Amino acid sequence: MPVDYARGLTATARTGRENAHLGVGLAFVAGATNAGAFLAVRQYTSHMTGIVSSMADAVILRDQTVFYTGVGALVAFIAGAATTAIVVNAARRRGLSSAYALPLLLEATLLLVFGLVGGRLNQVHTVFVSATVGLLCFIMGLQNAVITKISGAVIRTTHVTGIVTDLGIELGKLLYVNRPGASGDERVVADRGRMWLLLQLLAGFFVGGVLGAAGFQALGYIATVPLALLLVGLAAVPVVDDLRRAIR
């Protein structure tokens, strides 16, 4: 990966192309992490819709374990997103180039730790499941907040509901037949560039899920290490730039 290209992916001054490329890369990581997490603890951790629904069911079924696990997952996701906001705003205040890179570097570190010690912690099953769900929800909240802030809430990567909804809206615009003579604001026109981006995000999440599940099945927890290294590749250059400036 050329240095200038890597620098641009998480730079503070951005283009739509850089947002799209980073978004697809993070969608891949989210899909792989989510699928691997399901094989590890039998629970998806990238979206809160299912978590909150399971909590509601647990209230009626009086299943305290499921309810409190859901509360922990929800709090962890929110904490991850809050951490991104704190890190990004603090880095911006200091004029750092790595404002968006630092949360991704933290995500890479947490994935690396999970990959290296997950197999050992698995022996303590009850504690491991709760800790793993919390950790991965924190990671997903962290990542989703990064791309949300970078793209101005245009791109999200940890769940596909919004992606598919937006894709359906654009498809509806594409299929809509404008009345003859309609012009200007009266015309309904699909944003083909946005449709292409949404398809790439969806494909990135799906391919990541397939490879993440295959990697976990073949290698176990160590399969998260390549994901951590990918994130390091996305985030390292701006961090190194800031370190060099600090040393000078």
The percent of residues in the chain predicted with pLDDT above 70, rounded, is: 94
| Of 157, 176, 166, the residue nearest 196 (C-alpha) | 166
Mean pLDDT along residues 126-155: 80
Q: Is 157 helix (H, G, I), strand (E, B) or coil?
A: coil
More confident residue, 191 or 129: 191
Residue 153 in domain: yes
The percent of the chain in helix, strand and coil, each rounded to the nearest 5, is 80, 0, 20
Please report, for residues 125, 126, 246, the alpha-carbon distance to residue 47 in angstroms, rounded to integers and kept in the order given: 23, 22, 38
Residue with tokens 């290209």: 5
Span 55-81, average pLDDT: 90
pLDDT for 217 beyond 80: yes
Question: Is residue 245 a part of any domain in this protein?
Answer: no
Give 155-192 pLDDT, tens digit per residue. Answer: 877 778 888 999 999 999 999 888 887 777 778 888 89
* Banded model confidence at residue 25, pLDDT cuts 50, 70, 90: very high
Q: What is the mean pLDDT of the chain?
A: 85
- The three-class DSSP label of residue 196 is helix
* Residue span of the structural domain in which 104 resides: 3-240
Distances in whole angstroms, Cα of residue 37 to Cα of each of 52, 110, 215, 241? 18, 14, 11, 33
Structure pTM?
A: 0.86
The secondary element (H helix, E strand) that includes residue 128 is helix 125-151
Residue in the block written with tokens 């409190």: 68
Element (H, E) at 45: none
Q: Which pLDDT value is given to residue 135?
A: 85
195 within domain boundaries: yes
More confident residue, 179 or 240: 240
* Range 112-131 average pLDDT: 67
In terms of phi and psi (left: phi > 0; alpha: psi -120 to 50; beta: otherwise), the region of 137 is: alpha
Within-domain flag for 247? no
The pLDDT of residue 126: 56
Please state the domain count of the chain: 1
Confirm if 224 and 94 have CB atoms less than 8 A apart: no
pLDDT band at 124 (very low <50, low <70, confident <90, very high): low
Q: How high is the pLDDT of residue 123?
A: 56
Residue 4 has pLDDT above 60, yes or no: yes
Short-list 17, 6, 30, CA closest to 146: 30
Given this model, what pLDDT does residue 1 score?
A: 55
* Nearest CA-CA partner of 160 in 50, 77, 6, 58: 50
91 within domain boundaries: yes
Query: Is the residue at 23 inside a domain?
Result: yes
Establish if 64 belongs to a structural domain: yes
Look at residue 60 in the predicted model and tell me its pLDDT.
Answer: 94
> What is the model's pLDDT at position 59?
93
In this prediction, residue 129 carries a pLDDT of 65
Mean pLDDT value across residues 101-127 = 77
| Domain assignment of residue 158, yes or no | yes
**How far is 32 from 157, CA to CA, in rounded Å?**
12
DSSP string, 50-93: HHHHHHHHHHHHT-HHHHHHHHHHHHHHHHHHHHHHHHHHHHHH
Dihedral sign (CA 103, 111, 73, 45): positive
